[in-house]
Structure 1
Amino acid sequence: MGELETHEGQRMFPEPMGELETYEGQRMFEMPMGELETYEGQRMFEMPMGELETYEGQRMFEMPMGELETYEGQRMFVVPMGELETYEGQGMFEKPVAEWKTHEGQRMFEMPMGELDTYEGQGMFEKPVGELETYEGQRMFVVPMGELETYEGQRMFEMPMGELETYEGQRMFEMPVGELDTYEGQGMFEMPMGELETYEGQRMFEMPMGELETYEGQGMFEKPVAE
């Protein structure tokens, strides 16, 4: 990765395209093409310099450690902040400061709270894990992609402890297995298999492939750079 560049005294990720983009005076992470995609005119992921950026008043993701972990050859996000972020007033992520657990040589997230946060009465995170839970013999992500999006006010990512939450009798997300769970008969997320599923003819999310996916013609996620 070379050396860390700096911008206004802040550490940057040494992503090799050279310049930092800005948006409304905020420093942005340059995901290696020098552009940032938008969704409904808003910049989506701001992955900056050791500060938390916001999207519509919500704190997004701080990815300030300069490294990415991998799972089955895919790069994962290290998001270690030690605070509880919120989404619509609910506890989303606790970024651990304690230690990393490992599973099959991979560093995992230990979410050391011991409490359940809730969203609309559903259990969101069981904090104290440190290992991979399973569901029907499949390995689950304890804290898979480090984000929680919504679609039409419904929960998109459920990041539980080896159980799948349901919505209208459908399994929502089984985090990284290679099978598709569905929402209203449509394939939603197949977390790290390298294929794209669609929802109403749109390509949804393929989390870590290094390409830009779109939703309603807008760039949603800029996937991180491969090593």
Structure 2
Amino acid sequence: MLTLTSCENMGTKEKIGTTLGVITGGIIGNKIGGKDNKVIGTSLGIAAGYFIGSSIGKYLDEQDKQRMAQSTQQAITTGQTQIWTNTENKTSGQARVVETRKEPKPVVVPILKSKVKQIPPLDIIGDTYRAKSISNVRGGPGADYVKTGSLNAGETVNVVGKVKTSDWYLISQDGVGSGFVSAPLMEHAPGTIPPPSGTIIAQGDVAQQQVASERVCRTIEQSVSLPDGSKKSETIEACQGGDGWKVKS
């Protein structure tokens, strides 16, 4: 499974929609196509060759591409440098975290108009979470807001971000913001794919809302050491989005 989704108007605002579940499992980037940034989400075992930089990928076999892809994914999501070695062909590589920083970045979030009226400033997360128990979904970040739904124990959803001023998550289902859940009721569930809700959402039910936000960006240097003693490297930059990490072109 390989999903590429372009972002609109990245210079001033970033469009959020697709649930992270679609792209959990391998969010690795490469400089693919023109001026637009690309969201790259893929199963590591199938599509490793697509997102290893061409200057490196052409020197690696399929297994080593997969090793590099997994290392880069882990470096991007954890912020820690990752190292791999293939003892059979004496190839090794690393994904080194060069820089981690926070950027203020307004985003545009699609929301269900009937459930979410206003979104306060967010710290972007863009990852899959699981409900620890039956949890209320509310129209705003607080127990005094109207209940708009609920999550069953063990149910997974995409968390777009955490409200800056309170311990509440904005969640999205089927790629659309559907309400807020108290953060202590949720647990991180990386690698899990939230199932579709089965609800048909009409275009008229969805509004696009611009939200003040802050996101984490990381610069990653991918490098390999080849059996002949030569080294190849490439640097990429990835930033958090409400639907996962996006790699800048």
TM over 0.5: no
- Higher RCO, 1 or 2 (CA under 8 Å, sep at least 6)? 2
* Higher relative strand content: 2
Shorter chain as denominator, the TM-score bin is under 0.3
**CA radius of gyration, larger in:** 2
Task: Give TM-score scaled by structure 1 length.
Answer: 0.24
* Higher relative helix content: 2
